[in-house]
Amino acid sequence: MRTVLGDNQYGKAETRIVRVDRGDTHAITDLNVTTTLAGDLAATHETGDNSGVLPTDSQKNAVFAFARDGIGEIEDFGLRLARHFVDGAPTIHRARVQIEQYTWQRMSVQGQPAHHSFARAAGTRTTSVTYDGTNSWVVSGIGDLTVMNTTDSEFHGYHRDRFTTLPETHDRILATAVTARWRHAEPSGDWAAVHEAAREHLLEAFADTYSYSLQQTLNAMGERVLRNCPELVEVRLSLPNKHHFLVDLSPFDLDNPGEVFFAADRPYGLIEGTVLAEDAPDAGLAWW
């Protein structure tokens, strides 16, 4: 059988970089950076000729060196890196830079903001930037954010087959760990402001949507972001349904009026969906 090389890519995953800005008060930027390159890489696969391969070690070094002059918004940092890789290495035709930014809060000491002390908070800000030598695409988002509504969630009227035993419910806990990614119309903008707005609208939509299904909540979250952030054209959401089962306390002669729940690990529902602006431009390589 004759074989051919298909799609391939390579890079350096999870370079953990922390930058300290030493102004009047210190500030920190704490990132997990993954760089991925593709292009004319047949030679290294077929014969081990590495002349077209920029080592992953060099990619890591670039991440550190580029941080020397400041990181700024992660989207801009990603764009600078992606352009460096494609424009600098003749065989590399496409680069993706994925960044997770950890959230840190300035600590307080006796009611005053600390000068140089920080505590990790929940939630990450993310970006995935792609550049092909001509065009750039920016997808931003959030991760590691677990949220819960203790009411205003129902689930009934579903399709039943012979394996359906789930009782209908008119009041349940709805909990999920949000992973959201939103596509920017343009590879430039006020990244921080859009991020803040998108995050806020996403979470508010989760909180104030009266829900008949997690899909409905997902759709409301995506719509709310797009309607309020004209810079964005697409939102993709992955929402595990973190089941909380009402515990049957009747064997102990106790009722349980929606108060005591078992938080289950596995299995879990997994709801994934996309909401787009009606006039969203083609996604190109945004989701590569």
Distances in Å between the Cα of 99 and the Cα atoms of 17, 138, 142 are 11, 11, 11
Interface residue with a second copy among 150, 189, 197, 288 (CB under 8 A) is 150
Residue among 192 and 254 whose Cβ is closer to a second copy: 254
Asked about 243 being catalytic, the answer comes back as yes
Choice among 12, 84, 184, 195 that is catalytic: 12
Q: Would you call 76 helix, strand, or coil by DSSP? A: helix
Which residues between 152 and 211 bind a second copy (CB under 8 A)? 152, 154-166, 173, 203-204, 206-208, 211
Nearest to 269 by CA among 170, 175, 172, 164: 175
Q: Residue 51 phi/psi, 5° resolution?
A: -65, -20
Stretch that binds a second copy, among 19-27, 72-80, 129-137, 189-197 (CB under 8 A): 19-27
- What is the C-alpha separation between 256 and 250, in angstroms, rounded? 8
Does the footprint of a second copy cover residue 24 (CB under 8 A)?
no
The CA–CA distances, whole Å, from 65 to 79, 81, 127 equal 15, 10, 20
Q: Which of residues 83, 189, 215, 288 is near a second copy by CB under 8 A?
A: 215
12 is catalytic: yes
Whether the Cβ atoms of residue 44 and residue 7 lie closer than 8 Å to each other? no
H-run or E-run covering 93:
strand 92-109
Which residues within the stretch 68-127 sit at the binding site for a second copy (CB under 8 A)?
68, 88-89, 91, 104, 107, 109-110, 114, 116-122
- How far apart are alpha carbons 232 and 280 in whole angstroms? 9
Q: Interface with a second copy includes 55 (CB under 8 A)?
A: yes
User: Which residues sit in the known binding site for 5-hydroxyisourate?
Assistant: 56-57, 155, 172, 215, 241
Could you say which of 186, 188, 196, 227 contacts a second copy (CB under 8 A)? 227
Considering 26, 34, 44, 56, which one is annotated as catalytic? Answer: 56
Return the active site residues: 12, 56, 243
